[in-house]
Chains A and B, each alone.
Chain A
Amino acid sequence: MTATATRNRPGLRPAPRAADILPRLIAPLVLAAIMLAFSVLTPTFLTGDNLLAVLNQTAILALVAAGMTVVVRSGGIDLSVGVALDLAALAAAAAIAERYVPWVAVVVGLAFGLAVGLVNAFLIVVLRIPPFLATLSVWFIGTSVQQLLTGGGAPIYLVRSQVPEGFALWGNGYLLGVPFPVVAAVLVAGVVYLALDGTRWGRELTVTGEQPGASRISGKRVGALGASAYVLAAGVAALAGVVLASRTYAFIPASGQLYVMDAIGAVFIGATLSKYGRVSVPGTMVGVLIFALLANGMNLAGLSFFWQGLARGLALLLVLLLGVVLARQRTSRVRPPATATTAVPARKG
């Protein structure tokens, strides 16, 4: 028995309604509003030099947030990326201080950061500790480790003139007039975007994060996929750590922690760009830019540093609230299932 042609018109794409799209445009609109406001308030804001400086300042957050996006997409969260960043910066700075050649310093730094990711993967995938708690523990432990390694948390300062150029470049060099950190952030964000939304790995990771049971039944390596997310996030954070150590010619303990909450905020601002609350690199970058331009604009406007946390919190709330309010007004009220918060929920049995 075949169907008649009178059933639901096949092939007809429902045109999206404005009411359906508006909640997803909030974050980009907020970004635009911030740009508009500050360019009116401060004449220097909308200059090429200032914007490039902003991007340079933001590169490290952009890197950390790109990694965080992967972890959140896999259904988890990583509170320990700051530790990966710090340990990488510490190892790299120490290696330079000990006069190792630049590439050794960079490799040692990345290795220290990756180690943090491997520990997370082990705790979450093998021991099945919920990601929030596992990475919280790693953060506590990692913070202590830094203090112990630096004799109670003393910073390591490198003597500028003695730092080889091959290392100084990572934080201070230019490529075709663009600061190297910006080049690194753009490249990494691009690659992560492509990996998440264009490759088989990204597809399988996403499915595993949203519906682990379905992923497992389809024969996916649920554990390995989850592990790869934590290792990747830590690796990217480690790169950010190397860049930071190079830029500041120093290692300052616990500086990575500053980026963790900003990164999480940016990722979830970005999630509002998706109908299903799915996080993505482009969305995350909108969130990162909102934070960055707020900070920069307030600096230029002469507002004190202490106002910045308030501004970030309000921006985050604004985006999330407007999104919720507008979504409620849509005609359809059915919400997609809540995002899974554990990376590897066990199937029954």
Chain B
Amino acid sequence: MSSASDTPGAASAPLLSMRGINKAFGAAQVLTDVHFEVHAGEVRGLVGENGAGKSTLIKILTGLYQADSGTIEFGGAKVSITSPADAERLGIHVIHQDRHLAGRLTVAEQLYLGRSEGRYGWVSRRQLNRRAAADLERTVGLRVAPDLLVDELTVAEQQLVQIARAVLAGPKLLVLDEPTAPLASAEVAQLFATIRTLQAAGVPVVYISHYLQELRQISGTVTVLRNGANAGEVDLAGRDDALEQVVELMVGREVEEFDRTRTAARTPDPAGEALSVMSLTVPGALRDVSFTVRPGEVVGVTGLVGSGVDELADAVTGNRRHGGRVSLGGRPVRSPRAFVKASGAYVPADRRRDGALVRNTIQENISLVALDKVTAWGGLIRRRAEKALAQAQISRLDIRPARPQAVVGQLSGGNQQKTVLARWLAAESKFLVLDQPTSGVDVGSRAQIYARINDLVDAGAAALLVTVDLEELVGLADRILVFFRGEIVAELRRGEATTDRILALASGAGQAGYADASGSAGADTELEFA
């Protein structure tokens, strides 16, 4: 697998070179003789299906895992990395797929955590906060109060804070493991600008993503892993059909055009009402939001970070205190329990904390809501029935490994996501609130998930789809609500919605005064929000 000769930076020696990397967990060989090189100033893509071993390779690079064999050279010298601290000392900074933020720290503290600033002893909190606000705005374009607790941020905001932290540390190599999964397009654009700045300064970036279009925009060469081994490298600038080639390498065969969309238009019952939201208000996030979702339709919701869409999903499902009324099938929803009892399903954005039960088996994860179905007299759980329930979902969603006893914390990110979805499918919920349902899911599995959602909705279920993936939105939703600063600014029907139009609306165009931020009308709206 010595493809270094045809990569762009081949003339110079690589900054990072991982060679002959092997890694097994128990009897499962996860990486086999993997080679991975990164040259100064390049943005190197790293792709592969869910479970291909991308995150594992990166975790070896940061010392979270130890390779069974293989060598790592960094800056021309052989290095041994046994802990994340080792990696950071070398200048290798990684944004992991599963964020590990300390929830009790403020944004400013998180930003400078473990950095020399703290060592001079007492730092004025005011100064620290002021600097944090400026640094955040400059590096990732994020505007949040620096004294908020990290826990209070949305997933996307947490992600941006972590990226800012790494950039501020002055990295020699930055690794981003699915950084854009929670981010909306404007934030992605900002992130790309940040990456290009680093690149211009000669700092290479490793970029892992399931969004191949993004890779085309930002990356030169991508390394493809398949089943834990190198499948090849593709120079994206080289050929017109480079992306098709990447997909082919990923799955190991040629793939027809992957179509996310459904063909027939749906006709939801106009009188029916699955979810009704009246004057929903969440202080600081949403103001007076009203809409309904009918049985047999998918209503899509999107907005940038800070638009209130993440809070919307929490509020509608009873997980966040709010003013206004929410009802599901005519029954009021005041608590998460009432929501679930009314046949509601909620796939939250924060998979690791609120979604997957990381210490439980796939089987226990899937049966959690449907325990009724597998509980015998006396409350005893019938393991066999539970296993059968899980197995049906495992094969339907193609969860890997297909072993009901596998512990979910050890699954790859995409497979964890599928497990969370499977929980609600097993409970046969009639109303789905899906916040980023395909976050971290590979292209093939995404199509499977879309097919399942479409099946359910065609059979009379209703779905509220909150997503930053505009292709997903356009492909799946019958109606689209665009949020801007806590309000619905547009409702688009299927057919009138294009990604460009949604993007413009989500960033405030079309709002009086926002087309031209310097205009006087802009000042008016600014006042209104103050």
Q: Which residues of A contact B (CB under 8 A)?
A: 1-4, 6-17, 20, 194-195, 198-201, 203-204, 206-207, 210-211, 213-214, 216-221, 276, 278, 331-334, 336-337, 347-349
Q: B474: shortest Cβ distance to chain A, in Å?
A: 19
Report how far A16 CA is from B402 CA in the complex, Å. 18
Report how far A62 CA is from B226 CA in the complex, Å. 52
Name the one of A16, A194, A203 contacting B26, with C-beta atoms under 8 angstroms: A16
Residue B145, interface by CB 8 Å = no
Q: B residues 422-474 with Cβ under 8 Å of A?
A: 423, 443-444, 447-448
Chain A residues closer than 8 Å to B443, beta-carbon distance: 1
List 27 interface pairs A-B (beta carbons < 8 Å), by A numbering.
A1-B256, A2-B448, A3-B49, A3-B251, A6-B252, A7-B226, A7-B227, A10-B401, A10-B402, A15-B26, A17-B26, A199-B381, A200-B371, A203-B381, A207-B357, A207-B368, A210-B359, A216-B319, A216-B337, A217-B317, A217-B354, A219-B336, A219-B339, A333-B83, A334-B59, A349-B311, A349-B314
B317 and A11 form a contact (CB under 8 A): no
A333 and B64 form a contact (CB under 8 A): yes
Q: Taking CB as reference atom, which chain B residue is nearest A349?
A: B320
Report how far A3 CA is from B354 CA in the complex, Å. 28
Q: Taking CB as reference atom, which chain A residue is nearest B339?
A: A219
Chain A residues closer than 8 Å to B496, beta-carbon distance: none
Report how far A276 CA is from B368 CA in the complex, Å. 19
Report how far A218 CA is from B65 CA in the complex, Å. 32
Chain B residues closer than 8 Å to A278, beta-carbon distance: 359
Chain A interface, >50% SS class: loop
Q: A277: shortest Cβ distance to chain B, in Å?
A: 9
Chain B residues closer than 8 Å to A10, beta-carbon distance: 400-403
Q: A154: shortest Cβ distance to chain B, in Å?
A: 45
Q: Taking CB as reference atom, which chain A residue is nearest B375?
A: A200
Residue B378, interface by CB 8 Å = yes
Report how far A140 CA is from B73 CA in the complex, Å. 60
Chain B residues closer than 8 Å to A198, beta-carbon distance: 380-381
What string of 1s and 0s marks CB contacts (under 8 Å) between B325-364 and chain A? 0000000000011011100001010100111111110001
For the A-B complex with A213-B353, A348-B151 known, give 12 more contacts whose Cβ atoms are closer than 8 Å: A6-B226, A12-B27, A17-B26, A199-B380, A200-B371, A216-B336, A218-B336, A218-B423, A219-B336, A333-B83, A334-B64, A336-B409
B400 and A8 form a contact (CB under 8 A): yes
B340 and A219 form a contact (CB under 8 A): yes
Q: A306: shortest Cβ distance to chain B, in Å?
A: 41
Report how far A13 CA is from B26 CA in the complex, Å. 9
Chain A residues closer than 8 Å to B152, beta-carbon distance: 348
B64 and A4 form a contact (CB under 8 A): no
Residue B258, interface by CB 8 Å = yes
A211 and B253 form a contact (CB under 8 A): no
Name the one of A6, A14, A211 contacting B27, with C-beta atoms under 8 angstroms: A14
Chain B residues closer than 8 Å to A12, beta-carbon distance: 27-28, 401, 403
What string of 1s and 0s marks CB contacts (under 8 Å) between B241-277 and chain A? 0000000000111011010000000000000000000
Chain A residues closer than 8 Å to B364, beta-carbon distance: 203
A1 and B346 form a contact (CB under 8 A): no
Chain B residues closer than 8 Å to A347, beta-carbon distance: 319-320, 354
Report how far A138 CA is from B525 CA in the complex, Å. 54
A211 and B357 form a contact (CB under 8 A): yes
Counting from the closest, the 8 A-B pairs by CB-CB distance are: A14-B26, A219-B340, A349-B320, A10-B402, A213-B354, A199-B379, A1-B444, A15-B27
A8 and B226 form a contact (CB under 8 A): no
Name the one of B68, B256, B379, B423 contacting A200, with C-beta atoms under 8 angstroms: B379
Report how far A194 CA is from B376 CA in the complex, Å. 14
With an 8 Å Cβ cutoff, the count of chain B residues facing the other chain is 70
Chain B residues closer than 8 Å to A4, beta-carbon distance: 251-253
Q: B residues 38-68 with Cβ under 8 Å of A?
A: 49, 51-52, 59, 63-66, 68
B336 and A331 form a contact (CB under 8 A): no
Residue B228, interface by CB 8 Å = yes
Q: B406: shortest Cβ distance to chain A, in Å?
A: 8
Q: A214-B353, A214-B357, A219-B337 are in contact. Are A13 and B27 (CB under 8 A)?
A: yes
Q: A1-B443, A6-B226 are in contact. Are A199 and B359 (CB under 8 A)?
A: no
Chain B residues closer than 8 Å to A337, beta-carbon distance: 358
B25 and A14 form a contact (CB under 8 A): yes
Report how far A218 CA is from B405 CA in the complex, Å. 21
Q: B120: shortest Cβ distance to chain A, in Å?
A: 30
B368 and A218 form a contact (CB under 8 A): yes
Report how far A14 CA is from B30 CA in the complex, Å. 11
Chain B residues closer than 8 Å to A207, beta-carbon distance: 357, 360, 368
Q: B407: shortest Cβ distance to chain A, in Å?
A: 8
Report how far A217 CA is from B368 CA in the complex, Å. 11
Q: Taking CB as reference atom, which chain A residue is nearest B371?
A: A200
Name the one of B255, B337, B447 contacting A220, with C-beta atoms under 8 angstroms: B337
Q: A349: shortest Cβ distance to chain B, in Å?
A: 4
Q: A1-B444, A2-B398 are in contact. Are A333 and B66 (CB under 8 A)?
A: yes
Chain A residues closer than 8 Å to B66, beta-carbon distance: 331-333
Residue B321, interface by CB 8 Å = yes
Q: Taking CB as reference atom, which chain B residue is nearest A339?
A: B359
Report how far A283 CA is from B152 CA in the complex, Å. 37
Report how far A201 CA is from B448 CA in the complex, Å. 34
Residue B369, interface by CB 8 Å = yes
Q: A218-B423, A348-B320 are in contact. Are A11 and B336 (CB under 8 A)?
A: no
What string of 1s and 0s marks CB contacts (under 8 Å) between B271-311 and chain A? 00000000000100000000000000000000000000001
Q: A210: shortest Cβ distance to chain B, in Å?
A: 6
B369 and A218 form a contact (CB under 8 A): yes
Report how far A217 CA is from B68 CA in the complex, Å. 39
Chain A residues closer than 8 Å to B255, beta-carbon distance: 1
Report how far A299 CA is from B59 CA in the complex, Å. 52
Report how far A6 CA is from B51 CA in the complex, Å. 12
A217 and B348 form a contact (CB under 8 A): yes
B381 and A217 form a contact (CB under 8 A): no
Chain B residues closer than 8 Å to A195, beta-carbon distance: 379
